[in-house]
Chains A and B, each alone.
Chain A
Amino acid sequence: MRSCLILIAALAASPVAAHVSLETKQATIGASYKAVFTVPHGCAGSPTVKIRVQIPEGVIAVKPMPKAGWTIDLVEGKYAGEYDYHGNKLSSGVKEVAWSGGRLPDKYYDEFIMHTVLTDRLKPNTTLYFPVVQECETGVSRWIEIPAEGAGHSHEGKSPAPGVKLLPKP
């Protein structure tokens, strides 16, 4: 019943293809998550030429899916904490993924995909945000707004960061 409510809420809240967002709106912590970033338009009509995604803390084992016509760049760095992954201690890894070199006209739609693991260090029943910077031939759209904790759903943000609702481990 509860997850059903969350689903309804998530569906009701998702603006119709107006923002860069995550296709799968909820995920279970302690499991893998296929993050599909949907890019419905360019920046005020200008074609998209680069998508940069910041990996939030607690998300490890990031592997972007190659995409024809686009080059992938990974920025690696230290995690704030140490995570257990298949018996190995991970203290560093991918912090940012960037697709560039392609050209996505405003009138087309595309998806940028990566595989991730959501560690069980993440807090259940919160939203995990992946800030995205969309660079275009002219202009930049920053999908980086994260509502303040406890502020609830805010309509004020014009360019919210794509988020995924975290469900507790079953």
Chain B
Amino acid sequence: MRLLAALATLLFAAGFASGALAHAALISVEPASGSTLATAPKVVELRFNEPVTPGAIRLIDGAGRARDETRVTASGETISIAMPSDLPEGTAVVSYRVVSQDGHPVVGSLMFSIGMPSETKLPASTDHWLGALIWLARVGLYVGLFVGVGGVWFARWISWSLAGMTVPRVALAVGLSSAVVSLGALGLDLLGLPPAALAAFAPWKVAVATSAGRASLVAAAAMLFALLALRSTWSSRALAIIAMVGVGLSLAMSGHAATTPPQVIMRLAILLHGLCVALWIGALAPLAALLSKPTPAALAVVKRFSGVAMPAVGVLALTGLALAIVQLEKASALVETRYGLILSVKLALVLMLLALAALNRFRLTPVLARRGAQIILKRSILLECMISLAIFAVVAGWRFTPPPRTIVPETPLAIHIHSDKAMFQVLVSPGKAGKDDFVLQLMTGEGVPLAAKEVILTLSLPERGIEPMERGASLGPDGYWHVRKVELPFAGRWRVRIEALVSDFEKISLSDELEVPPP
């Protein structure tokens, strides 16, 4: 019993401990990726839109050698990578793998050249076999949670018997092993290690530190509770309830949707969604088993299940709809993004499932007493099981696609002009030839916002004989200076000059070059 209490505490503590925000995205890099520097930088800084945990950071120097003497320090959303002092000339590549707050790894690479660029190959990202393994483990986890835990709950609360528990037992075994596999695979993915490294402690430790890892642990705990509930004791019904709550919690703890504000409501929606899935899908296998040996008792069980399933499906649809609206933001994302496509396929499968459920409920259940009807109902339920499995397989694909909400719009062109007196940050969006919007952030040399009376942006393209074009900037309510709809007729190396009038007699002007790509 003490063990149970401890497990329950773990379940709840882990469920509420993870304070997450959103999917991390890289905002800026210093020195800028693709830049050519006169001397080797001492530090490379990556700035994200939210605090991140560094996973694996690799440096390949201009001579093509992997260097492991980098020192990585993280503070909040910034990761600083101290460079070795003897970086040779050529193009160096820094590839990073960090863990964002929702437990997903964010990977990328940046390059800078010292002296002159050299040819370098980018290191590969997540291996295909690892991706497949993560997906498979996820499907297994869903099977364990919904078919396994849901089946046990059905046995304890609906059918009041342990008949037809073979499938849920197998599902629990699959789910438990999947939880272990998904934890290990997550660790390997985060650290970018080969499978042999699973013998070591590091990948497990990293995985458990993420919200996705903790969610796997909670899922495993829920499945253990379900196994305990299969033993007939006085507490088995309570154990089934705890296991069900664990299903909802493990789903609500991690993933894209759980980290969307308003978090409390989103997590509650996921929890309810997961509970109802387990309620519905978990009942299918035992029901099918029950119907293969028709007894008068089976009839009563089906009727009881129908009473529970109706409201469950309603809650399922409502929470699903709410979550989809928040994640997609607009309907066109259903077909335009991979996340949306997965959702579309899922919705199609769910509609089939609902049609079958409606058939069972309104056509087959009322005439169950008739001969032959039970066989048809059983077949229909088996079909439902297969569709459910397909849904799990599709939904597990979400692990690899960020929802449209978190997709960062195309990065605008950015240049940073620096002198002793001032630092100007220039953002050009969309950053291509054509019409562009300029945002100018003016700061003093110490990084304090610079008050200006007037700011003028001058652009020229000497290589195409385009003489300086002058545009006055206007101060926006955001404290930045804006120049909208600037015509950049050609791609090429534009000269940018910014003049800020700081007093009647003092003007700070800085200029730099801006490589504008073709549209």
Contacts and interface: CB of A to CB of B under 8 A. Distances in A.
B463 interface: no
A52 B504 contact: yes
A87 to B, nearest CB: 31
Interface stretch (B1-9, B77-85, B352-360, B505-513): B505-513
A46 interface: no
A133 B501 CA distance: 12
Contacts of B419: 148
A131 B509 contact: no
A32 interface: no
Nearest to B507: A144
Contacts of B511: 156
Interface in B483-519: 497, 501, 504-507, 509, 511
Interface string A149-165: 00000001000000000
Interface string A22-65: 00000000000000000000000000000010100000000000
B505 A54 contact: yes
Nearest to A54: B505
B505 A145 contact: no
A137 to B, nearest CB: 18
B505 A133 contact: yes
A54 B507 CA distance: 13
A128 to B, nearest CB: 14
Interface residues of A, number: 9
A133 B506 CA distance: 10
Interface string B402-445: 00000000000000000100000000000000000000000000
B505 A144 contact: yes
A142 interface: yes
Contacts of A131: 505-506
B460 to A, nearest CB: 10
A144 B453 CA distance: 14
A142 B497 CA distance: 17
Contacts of A148: 419
Contacts of A156: 497, 511
Contacts of A142: 501, 504-505, 507
Contacts of B497: 156
B509 A145 contact: yes
B462 to A, nearest CB: 12
Contacts of B509: 145
B317 to A, nearest CB: 66
Nearest to B499: A145
A30 to B, nearest CB: 25
Interface of A: 52, 54, 131, 133, 142, 144-145, 148, 156
Given A142-B504, A142-B507, A156-B511, 13 more contacts: A52-B504, A52-B505, A54-B504, A131-B506, A133-B504, A133-B505, A142-B501, A142-B505, A144-B504, A144-B506, A145-B509, A148-B419, A156-B497
A-B CB proximity, top 8 nearest = A131-B505, A54-B505, A144-B505, A144-B507, A133-B504, A145-B507, A133-B505, A144-B506
21 contacts: A52-B504, A52-B505, A54-B504, A54-B505, A131-B505, A131-B506, A133-B504, A133-B505, A142-B501, A142-B504, A142-B505, A142-B507, A144-B504, A144-B505, A144-B506, A144-B507, A145-B507, A145-B509, A148-B419, A156-B497, A156-B511
